[in-house]
Chains A and B, each alone.
Chain A
Amino acid sequence: MRARLLELNLLGCLVLGTSACSWSRFDDVTRDAPVVLFEKPGSMADGFGVSLATATNQGQTEVLVGGTSNVSAAALYEIGDEDSPGTTASDGYCTGDDQACFLSSLTGGFANATGPDKGRPLCFAVGTGTVDDGPIKSGLVVSCQDTTEYALGMPKVAQDLLAISIAENQPHDHPMATDRADDPVLLASLPDERLAWFYPARSTQFSELLLPDGAQQDDPSFGRSLAVLAVDGGRVLALGVPGKSRVFLWKTDGGSNSSYIGCLGGIDGMGRALAAGRVDADGNDDLVVSDASTVHVVDGARLFQLPQTASSACSLSLLPPGAMLGSFGCASTGSLTGCEKSEFGAALAVGDLDGDGDGEVIVGAPKMTVRDRANAGALLVYDAEMSTDAALVDVNFISSAEGGDELGRSIVTPHLAKRDIIAAGAPGNGKAALFYCSSLLAHGAAGSRCP
């Protein structure tokens, strides 16, 4: 009996020894993780990740992470490459340290920006305020990688209001958006005044956007969502008034002239978020618009073909046949639960995540519960190609998510090598993260970070 006891003990030791846990495997599994958090600068105490903008020039991609509009600043990150992502802020924009600057809730990136004196690569329209250099001392502030900045003039109402804001430190939000062309068009709005304008490519002169008589634009949500579509022959400018469930559309041929081409509406919350990007493979940006529960993809080229109109009617039926590429909702896929309160479509982006030439639609659901953590937020990636129905291909979240992160409140798709990746803000707990991997990628095609 004693000999048997000894044998059992030795056997037990052998089993335990061979099954002993190795802690180094945790280092292995977390090395080159597919999700990388931006380091939050200490100066950004409020709302890190409320807004995001990206710009790429000659293989260099930067991401601007903004804080709470009119309150905080923005941090600039050179994201580098997959092997050594830049997660430490390389600069701070709209800090307000020397000059007045009010960070916008939506910012825009420029691959190339045309300032009052010269062109500059990798600039960001960050808000309104004053600058030291240039002929215009106050207006829309554009900060560039070369540490210079300049101001763009605004309509008089906006300019007067800015003077008051600076004088009384009572800022007004100026949402902005650009397209991803080499010479982007900047679209800006002043919701408090129901005013919108744009700056044509390579121009510092603004051009005000006009609405037909009878257009119901009088809502504080006017211009809270914006998108610029680069299409053959010009641009399509989209401005959302989600409070009125409308999206107003203009087109411009590249100059300062613009013409109103219609209004999308008729669905509750229409225009809650807007995004532009090449969803299909026609080489033109398409419009992605969300309402209270659904995301719609509208062919940008078809929109550009719409004629100028004086009608104030708003309806999806105004779209020409074939213009609606697809519509999908969170609940349309059976694999997701808790869509009702997820704020599905709070933010939108389009990116070519797999590098195949057409883009995927990334939809933010910042109130989605992830692993029992309420409001942790998630990113839902849809393959919304023209010929197929939208299909959910990925659900991204931060594995270390905390309740209230609200991931997906802001989304951009920085360009990295031959494909785009996702950058998303989780301002609830001051986070912003890069998502390097997509299930659409072939195994091993995305380096060591991805399976």
Chain B
Amino acid sequence: MFAAVSSGFLSRRGALVLLLVALLAALAAGALAQTKDSSGKRLESIRSEMDRGQGLYLAGNYAGAAEVFEAGYAAYPYSAFLFNAGVCYQKQNDFDRALAKFNEYVRVDPGAPDLDKVKLRISALEAAKAAAAATALGDAGVGADAGAPPPVVLPSGDEQNAMKSLVVIETEPEGAPFRVYQRLDPNAPRFAPGAATANPGWKEVVATRAPANLTLDVGQYHVVVEKFRDFNESEADMAVTPGHVHQLKANLSQGKFMAFLRVTSNVIGAHVWIDDKKKTRPLWSDTPHGELVPGGKHDVLVEAPGFEPFQASVELEHGEQKQLEVHMVRVSYGVLRIDASVPEVKVRIDAQVKGVWRSGSEPLDVRFDSGRHQLTIESDGRKTFEGMIVVPRGQILPLHAQMIPKYPRGPAWTQAIIGAAFLGAALYAGSESDRMYDQLQQDREGGNLEGSDSRATRGKWFAIGADAGFVVAGVLGGISTYNFIKDPLPESSVKPGKLQEFEDPLKARPVAQRAPGKLPNAVAAERAPRLEFKPSASSTGGGLILGGRF
């Protein structure tokens, strides 16, 4: 990047200088990348705190918002946090704490562009506090329900726009002087290059050097990076929205503003590769992450274990900021991670054998299509578990099978077999009895039956034997049935564990965010530009200024 930047000024600087710069750039590359990375993360954290406080404030949770801003200031001592906390206390009529925050704001940021306005706010608050105290004294003699303290007169527009934003202005290289002009008159024409006096309706509110962290009111601003060293002047417009962090970086050496790409996902920690579909280089970052990138077309690859890979191309203009919101979809299969309380179990899903788990080995991972499936777990001497299981999409469902021993059925089988033998004997005896009776009846019909026919006696004994056999068989059958049914032991069961994400070989497992109420399909949503890309020009040169809010 530096080589490309330097090429634009080759005619002005000697080759020696070029080599020196290149060398320094090479030496500084590692540290720069690390610094850039930590700076990006810091900004991401500040942004997160600011957004959270702003959200609570808009929701009317002033106490919560104040708490967040206080914590934000403690972690990142930017005066915008102080002011916003003061506003939150003021909304709660907590004059003392509001005054404390505003006074501290004046103290820590004496050059704040809105210092006068803040002092006016302090004065108004003190008056309101005094009036409230007087009202309280007067009310003491009248009664407790005399009324609430009089409302505090606040500056106009002090509702949603009361929150101040943090504006980070950087230049490449650092140290460039800049000025910030605020548009006071909404009808004022666009800022024209030149002094403030030449732009009615505009007022200079900041004049300092980059990098700088500014606390600004909501409004339209114009940033002018003045001529610095060999670089030309650059300028750009900037719109500040309440309770946000805005970053503005001017690459003076390149003569162009960089683009800003932020990739978010419903999966926190999803891996992002930029212009590296084959993943031959280290990953760009994990979601969410935003970073300045060169303008132009970029291929974005987002992956997370358990989710379908996402690929998209993003076209970024120089100085443009885009946020790519990726809604990752889980893969259509899941994994059952099975172990058991016994030395060995056989696992079937939908009647297909999927594997055998043995004690001492890792849990058996069974990959299967997501959805409801019939799970069968078998083990010798144990009750077979059969049940429906829902295989999750793109996740691991740990299952611990508690295999219960089969209740011994030996006595029942013995009784059943003996009963069956009795039944068989009874059936035989009954059959013989019937056969003999039929013969006797036939002989009687034929007039040949003799009264002392021995078959009558034998048939009678067969009948008695059959009846006795049926009784014994019935009793034994009943007892054996009872013993077959009797089972004081519980059924084998499966205890599902907490759903787990697929292992991530690159790092700790990502955590899926709860899906928002409504998400676009495989989103590559492009919001309205939050960065403003403005060319800057002056009589001595030109450049590009990138401004953004996020």
Contact = CB atoms under 8 A, between A and B. Distances in A.
Interface of A: 2, 5-6, 9, 12-13, 16-17, 19-23, 25-27, 29-37, 394-400, 433, 435-439, 450-451
B453 A20 contact: no
B448 A398 contact: yes
Interface in B427-448: 429-430, 433-434, 436-437, 439-441, 443-448
Interface in B473-489: 473-474, 477-478, 481, 484-485, 487
Given A2-B485, A26-B437, A26-B460, A436 B447 contact: yes
26 contacts: A5-B484, A5-B485, A6-B485, A9-B481, A12-B477, A16-B426, A16-B474, A17-B470, A19-B430, A20-B470, A21-B430, A26-B440, A29-B441, A30-B440, A34-B444, A34-B448, A35-B447, A399-B440, A399-B443, A399-B449, A400-B450, A400-B453, A400-B454, A436-B447, A439-B447, A451-B444
Interface of B is mostly: helix
B466 interface: yes
Interface string B333-374: 000000000000000000000000000000000000000000
Given A21-B434, A26-B440, A451-B444, A399 B453 contact: yes
Return the 7 tightest CB-CB contacts between A and B, nearest first.
A437-B447, A33-B451, A21-B463, A23-B463, A399-B443, A400-B453, A35-B450
Contacts of B487: 2
Contacts of A2: 484-485, 487
B467 interface: yes
Nearest to B487: A2
B462 interface: yes
B474 A13 contact: yes
B548 interface: no
Nearest to B431: A21
B439 to A, nearest CB: 8
A30 B456 contact: yes
Given A23-B460, A34-B448, A450-B447, A13 B484 contact: no
A21 B450 contact: no
Contacts of B434: 21
B425 to A, nearest CB: 13
Contact of B453 (A12, A30, A32, A435): A30
A21 B477 contact: no
A82 to B, nearest CB: 13
B484 A33 contact: no
Contacts of A20: 430, 466-467, 470
B450 A37 contact: yes
Given A17-B470, A399-B440, A400-B454, 19 more contacts: A5-B481, A9-B478, A19-B430, A20-B470, A21-B433, A21-B434, A21-B464, A22-B463, A22-B467, A23-B464, A25-B437, A26-B437, A30-B456, A33-B450, A35-B448, A398-B450, A400-B452, A438-B447, A451-B445
B489 to A, nearest CB: 13
A21 B470 CA distance: 9
B52 interface: no
B460 A433 contact: no
A35 B473 contact: no
B474 A26 contact: no
Nearest to B485: A2
